[in-house]
A and B are shown apart, each in its own frame.
Chain A
Amino acid sequence: MDTTQLLKGVLDLAVLAVVKERDGYGYDVVRRLRAAGLEDVGDASVYGTLRRLYTGGHLTSYVVPSEEGPHRKYYAVNDAGRALLAESTKTWRSFTDAMQALLGLDGEEAA
């Protein structure tokens, strides 16, 4: 199954989770998502998602000067972002519970 189709619904959630864990700049977020197993995630998708969450008021940003490279714009989750993440997590859980049951995968996860 094409994971990019699945990602469409949950990239916001994944990005918020990664940034909540630790503040990050754009490409850093891409790398951490890929390291977490979302290898197919597109660079532009993450960049666009970060900008949308930022303009939507769910992320704050600050610039960290770098001696060896470009200045980096770090993103951090604010209260609104945390609220969105909590709500989305709830939705995600009920959705995956339903899918697990539907696919007969109940119990496998608990093992």
Chain B
Amino acid sequence: MNTTVDGDVARYAAAVRAAFADLPAADREALLEDIEDHLVEVAAEPGGTLEERLGPPEAYAAELRAWAGLPAPGATRRRLRSSRLARRLQRLGAAAAAHPAGGAIVGFLPELRPAWWVLRGWLAVQLASVGLSLLFAHDITLPVPTILGSQVVGLLATGAAVVGSVALGRRGTATRRARRLTLAANAALGLFALVLLGGMGATRLTDAPTYDAYTVSGIYSEALPGLRSDGREISNIFAFDAKGRPLRGVRLYDQDGVPLVATHEDNPELESRLPLDKNGDAIANRYPREQYRVDPVTGERRPVPAPRPQP
């Protein structure tokens, strides 16, 4: 007899656990706390794998559920089943649960639920803060949100929201309507979390935060330095006339009359030779620039060829 839970037992137990994912964590644990030990006993008897002996884990779980006097999964999952997407997700979940590693993850996911409840509370306040920022024109602050211009109020609101969210999560939703509402709110907050993460990533790239709570100025902050188009840096500009002949010595300005200065932050191997005006100052917005690519090893300079216009 093995003292460690072998692969067969772990896999089978994970698949059984996955079939109870709809239950509140406490109920599930009360039911399955020693399922592994139990399956080890079964596996210790000679004769075939657990699946050969006990049937598919889903069927085992269904029998277990019925005898333990718990509601059938349909009672809580019927609504999800009705949509094709949900069906596909369920199939995907079942396939993942069948794989050893996937099974471990699927079985483990419900245990992350309390963490989500906490995160959800924080996200709700952060979302409120973003909404209020439109009215009060304050910055979005992380990690403590600003509410009514104050991070203290934000902290208090976060505490209250986390307590409320956890209470809601523990109690569960009684009615179908409440469940639908919770599902929609969860989805919205999840989406908001992605947007927030995106904003955080953008600021992080440029300047390391100098204070403990760094600021994302607006959610759609474009904080990368240099001249860019869709995030891709523009290091040189080539102009052509209507007949496709290259133009030289073109001075470019943006909509506000500010000189348009190409940059090569992302391409340190590029070197630009800028023309000088009569005072000896560089003319940074004259195109195309004379550019060289410097070999980092040999230091050799090669002129960068001009592109041809794409028809």
Choose among A11, A45, A48, A69 the residue that contacts B3 (Cβ–Cβ < 8 A): A69
Contact A44 B64 (CB under 8 A): yes
* Cα–Cα distance between A27 and B41 once the two chains are bound (Å): 6
Closest B residue to A71 using CB positions = B37
Q: Which of B2, B65, B66, B68 has the most CB of A within 10 A?
A: B68
Decide: A47 near B37, CB < 8 A? Known: A55-B30, A68-B1, A69-B3.
no
Would B63 and A42 count as touching, CB distance under 8 A?
A: yes
Residues of A within 8 A of B66 (CB): 48
Interface string of B58-77 (1 = CB under 8 A from A): 00110111111100000000
Q: Across the interface, which residues of B come within 8 angstroms of A26, CB to CB?
A: 34, 38, 41
What are the interface flags for B26-68 relative to A under an 8 Å C-beta threshold, 1 for contact and 0 otherwise?
0000110011111011101000000000100000110111111
- A69→B40 contact, CB < 8 A: yes
Distance in angstroms from A4 CB to nearest chain B CB is 10
Residue pair B63, A48 in contact (C-beta under 8 Å):
yes
* Distance between Cα atoms of A68 and B2 in the complex (Å): 7
Assess whether A51 is in contact with B36, with CB atoms less than 8 Å apart: no
- B119-136, CB under 8 A of A: which get 1 and which 0? 000000000000000000
Give the dominant DSSP class at B's interface.
helix
- Whether A27 and B42, one on each chain, are in contact in the complex, defined by CB atoms closer than 8 angstroms, is yes
CB proximity of B293 to chain A, nearest CB, Å: 66
A48 touches B65 (CB 8 A): yes
Chain A contact patch, size range: 20 to 34
Interface pair B67/A70, CB less than 8 Å apart? no
Among B5, B36, B65, B67, the one with the most A-chain Cβ atoms within 10 Å of its Cβ is B67
In the bound complex, residues from chain A placing their C-beta under 8 Å from that of B30 are 51, 55
Q: In chain B, residues 1-15, which have Cβ atoms closer than 8 Å to a Cβ of chain A?
A: 1-3, 5
Interface string of A41-53 (1 = CB under 8 A from B): 0111111110110
In this complex, what residue of A is CB-closest to B66? Answer: A48
Which one, B2, B44, B64, contacts A47 given CB within 8 A?
A: B64
Does A73 count as interface, using CB distance less than 8 angstroms? yes
Q: Taking the complex as formed, is A72 at the interface, i.e. its CB lies under 8 A from any CB of chain B?
A: yes
Chain A proximity of B63: nearest CB distance (Å): 4
**In the bound complex, CA of A105 to CA of B291 (Å):** 107
Among A25, A44, A55, the most chain B Cβ lie within 10 Å of the Cβ of A44
A72 to B44, CA, bound (A): 13
Query: What is the CB-to-nearest-CB distance from A14 to chain B, in angstroms, rounded to a whole number?
Result: 12
Complex Cα gap A33–B89 (Å): 40
> Chain B contacts of A43 at CB under 8 A?
42, 54, 60
With A44-B54, A51-B31 in contact, do A70 and B64 touch (Cβ < 8 Å)? no
How far apart sit A44 and B61, CA to CA, in the bound complex (Å)? 7
Q: For the complex, what is the distance from the CA of A26 to the CA of B41, rounded to whole Å?
A: 9
Is there contact, CB below 8 Å, between B68 and A72? Answer: no
| Residue in contact with B60 in the complex, picked from A44, A71, A72, CB distance below 8 Å | A44
Contact assessment for A69 and B41 in the assembled complex, using a CB-CB cutoff below 8 Å: yes
Q: Chain B residue with minimal CB distance to A46?
A: B67
CA distance A44 to B34 in the complex (A): 13
A44 to B44 CA separation, bound complex (whole angstroms): 16
CB-CB under 8 A for A69 and B61, given A43-B54, A47-B38, A55-B30: no
Identify B34's interface contact among A46, A69, A73, CB under 8 A. A73
CB contacts (< 8 Å) of A71 on chain B: these are 37
CB neighbours (8 Å) of B5 from chain A are 70
Q: Report, nearest first, the 8 A-B pairs whose CB atoms are least far apart.
A: A48-B67, A27-B41, A48-B68, A44-B63, A70-B37, A44-B64, A69-B1, A48-B64
B residues sitting closer than 8 Å to A (CB atoms) are: 1-3, 5, 30-31, 34-38, 40-42, 44, 54, 60-61, 63-69
15 pairs across A/B with beta carbons < 8 Å?
A11-B67, A27-B38, A27-B42, A42-B63, A44-B54, A44-B63, A47-B38, A48-B68, A49-B67, A52-B68, A55-B30, A69-B1, A69-B40, A73-B34, A73-B37
